[in-house]
Structure 1
Amino acid sequence: MNTASLPAPDQTLMHREAGEAAAVVSHQLSDNASRVKAAAERLRAYRPRAVVTCARGSSDHAATFAKYLIETQLGLITCSAAPSVGSVYQRPQQLDGVLYIAISQSGKSPDLLANVERAKAAGALTLALVNVADSPLAQMADLVLPLQAGQELSVAATKSFIASLSALLHLVTEWADSEALRTELRQLPEALARAWSFDWSDAVKALTPVHNLFVIGRGLGFGIAQEAALKLKETCGLHAEAFSAAEVRHGPMAIVGENFPVLVFAQQDETRESTESLVQEFRQRGARVLVAGEADLADTLPVVPEAHPVIAPILAIQSFYRMANALAIARGYHPDEPPHLNKVTETV
């Protein structure tokens, strides 16, 4: 492991760009206000029978967050499309009366474009969440919400992922016409700035020497666990696998033993009791468990206290990004230059 030629943690593009998330979200909420209101009005009039998401990579993890957010706040069944069904198999889908949400940083991946085109032809109302406002995806979709994240140079998406989550929350807040969520949304930029300041150096120390770990979340926090596991792979060279706090007991638990590392994301909602029970079970097996949450447990990583359950996962991934950037360097990796990866992956 050679860290001599690597930048200091606060000198990377990943650090700089992730640290911009609070300002990005503040700008996005202001600039997108009229677009989101118009989109919400159209959706209330459209009354979709279901929602389908289409995305890859970090954007697909945002889609996981969207599933739990839409189903818990609006009661609409939400599922993820397999992009290859439209782009490779080229099979038509029955999507009349469906809201079809495509999420992308670049807006030019061929498989997403093929699926949005087919979804429109199949009768769906299409909505794009995209960072490049003049991209082919933005031009194709019926409704567009720009992520407003600005240029992102680091291969690892950070501020654009958080911008995807905030855009989804903004849309659902107006669609549900929820004053309670509006209050939380207004506080999000300030809370993100606070989350960025937290010290997760205990996680850096614990994870620097390891080779494998589980990343656990549940409900609204599961997409964040997926995103964290991906970032640990691509920036830190660490084999991390994300599991639901419920699903991990169905098989994966068999490999958890003495000193096996586990990172748990928890939020203060109906999933709290089962998540804390799982943490205790991991520890009974001798696992080294780190908990990002307000749980009254040892080895707890600091989070913004009393955050609303729909906001808490967004704040937790902001704190995680700072830790992951430092962890990459501690492990001898340059977080801006993951091997074998490009910023834009154009999957067919």
Structure 2
Amino acid sequence: MSDAKPGEIMAREIAEQPAVLERILTEGLPRIREAAERVKAAQPRFALLTARGTSDNAAYYAKYLMEIALGLPVGLTSMSTTTAYHAEPDLRDVLCLTVSQSGGSPDLVAHTEMAKARGGLTLAVTNVAGSPVNQASELSLDVLAGPELALPATKTYTAELLTLWLLVDALRGGDGSAAKALPELAAGVLARESEVVDLAQRYRFASRLVLTARGYSYPTVREAALKIMETSYLPAHAFSGADLLHGPLAMVDNVSPVVAVAAEGAGGTALEPVLERLHERGADLVVVGSAEHVAGATAGFVLPSGIPEELSPILEILPLQQLAYHVTMSRGLNPDAPRALAKVTQTH
């Protein structure tokens, strides 16, 4: 990494995402279908998702998918109940899914081992075949993103999203065909980088940023906020649109920069009252989403139309990754190697 120019590695890995998505749809799909058959046979009554950081946002996306598409109750793990308090819940008939780029964090491994010992069906979704989490799990899926060298996760995030979507789609009897257009669409979105460069100039000297969305897009703003904070060190606060109205809206005024994600579908429709309130507050509002929602904003980035809402997060994060990159570069920082970060976080 020391021989690369600042930002070179992150930019390259952002650009690799269409190829990664294509690889998953071709090479990864058979293994995903096999895992889905094993899960179907187990007939889980509940799903428990375990993750940290970027992968936690991917798990949050999976929570929406499983609850909406499968009608399966889903919870997100509080790993300290296992690692600090040594809880041993009864996990019979529970799908215990761990999502991790590296599969190496000690708390992820410990929780997975506990889940397996307590009767859960354990499934690891990682980018490192043979990782400790994979070894601790009964089933595993490789997201096939290839080595990710920049510290901020980009291609592994969208690879996790697509892998999780294909898993859920297979569980409901789908063939994955709704995702076939994603690699080409992703390439088209990334090719519009000049639009993002213009947007990034708005935040070069910002002191804070608020991001908001609802539904499937909520994990997107959580991930975008994380990317912005870890690369540019700009405080970025992600809120569900509903939660934003329950108090935090008070901190928004006519000089407050706000980024909203409002794609086509129920989530974008549910966000409309929030967008109206932001307009009333005079916020500097940038919208990533449908042409209809972007039209009413201060500025924005229009996403391709006609995409199923549940697949939209795979596309809508792309300009936000580029936004984090360009805000960071405009501040004279290196997004490849943010301070105080490591690729494998040793949480216990």
Identify the TM-score tier after normalising by the shorter chain: over 0.9
Per the TM alignment, residue 126 of structure 1 is displaced from its structure 2 partner at its CA by 0.4
CA contact (8 A) 1:197 1:319 kept: no
1:283 aligns with 2:274: no
1:189 aligns with 2:183: yes
Per the TM alignment, residue 7 of structure 1 is displaced from its structure 2 partner at its CA by 4.8
Per the TM alignment, residue 133 of structure 1 is displaced from its structure 2 partner at its CA by 0.2
Per the TM alignment, residue 248 of structure 1 is displaced from its structure 2 partner at its CA by 0.7
CA distance in 2, matches of 1:186, 1:263: 29
Structure 2: gaps of 5 or more residues:
none
Matches of residues 111-150 of structure 1 in structure 2 within 5 Å?
111-150=107-146
Matches of residues 208-223 of structure 1 in structure 2 within 5 Å?
208-223=204-219
Number of equivalenced pairs: 339
Structure 1 residue aligned with 2:11, among 15, 34, 38?
Answer: 15
CA distance in 1, matches of 2:23, 2:254: 46
Structure 1 residue aligned with 2:76, among 75, 80, 83?
Answer: 80
Matches of residues 1-348 of structure 1 in structure 2 within 5 Å?
7=5, 12-179=8-175, 182-198=176-192, 199-294=195-290, 295=293, 296-298=295-297, 299-348=299-348
C-alpha distance after superposition, 1:196-220 (max 9, x if no partner): 1122233202111111111112111
Per the TM alignment, residue 274 of structure 1 is displaced from its structure 2 partner at its CA by 2.7
CA distance in 2, matches of 1:119, 1:7: 43
Structure 1 length normalisation: TM-score? 0.94
CA distance in 2, matches of 1:86, 1:165: 26
C-alpha distance after superposition, 1:33-65 (max 9, x if no partner): 221111111222211101110000000000110
Per the TM alignment, residue 272 of structure 1 is displaced from its structure 2 partner at its CA by 2.2
Per the TM alignment, residue 277 of structure 1 is displaced from its structure 2 partner at its CA by 2.0
Per the TM alignment, residue 178 of structure 1 is displaced from its structure 2 partner at its CA by 2.5
Aligned-residue sequence identity (percent) comes to 37
- Runs of 4+ with >2 A deviation: 271-274
Q: More displaced, 332-341 or 267-276?
A: 267-276
User: Tell me, what secondary structure is at the counterpart of 1:242?
Assistant: strand
CA contact (8 A) 2:253 2:283 kept: yes
CA contact (8 A) 1:268 1:309 kept: yes
> Cα RMSD (Å) of the superposition?
1.4
Structure 1: gaps of 5 or more residues:
1-5
CA distance in 2, matches of 1:142, 1:297: 49
Amino acid at match of 1:12: E
